Homo-oligomer: A and B are copies of this chain.
Amino acid sequence: MAGSVNKVILVGNLGKDPEIRRTQDGRPIANLSVATSESWRDKATGERKEKTEWHRVVIFNEGLCKVAEQYLKKGAKVYIEGQLQTRKWTDQSGVEKYSTEVVLQGFNSNLTMLDGRSGGGGGNFGSDDSGSDFGSSGPSSAAPRRAVAAAGARNSDMDDDIPF
């Protein structure tokens, strides 16, 4: 079908450090566990309640994987924009299971840090995925500010000098 939209927007915190693995042909995939919560006062009892929802986030976008690996840690607050995707798999005992994930892949994905942990500051990272030196970045001591610049470079087609 055409003419459809599938978009998820989350603002939440990482429940643990990102997990990065690689496909057989070397592409990185990052998995995030993101919590969102709501709190409200129960109408009947008056007591305060809170409910936390955990989201499984999967990043296929190379540039965003790099960001996740270098800058995100357990507890980090992030803005995430991706798509809903349900995957079918079979567990070790042969039972079919379904897993619904928020997938960041291709255009219209976004990952933005919203807190300035570890001396850095939030960074906005698009999804052009043209940067591909993931894994070759040497000593990952790069300062956040350079990272922002590098990420910005990937999106350099966004904004440059349009005369009109």
Contacts and interface: CB of A to CB of B under 8 A. Distances in A.
Instruction: Quickly give the copy total for this chain.
Output: 4
Contacts of A42: 156, 160-161
Contacts of A44: 160-161
A27 B52 CA distance: 24
A87 B83 CA distance: 19
Given A11-B3, A79-B5, A114-B77, A41 B105 contact: no
Interface residues of A, number: 84
A11 B11 contact: yes
A59 to B, nearest CB: 12
- Chain B CB within 10 Å, residue with most, of A44, A121, A157, A158: A158
B84 A6 contact: no
Contacts of A109: 108
A158 B113 contact: no
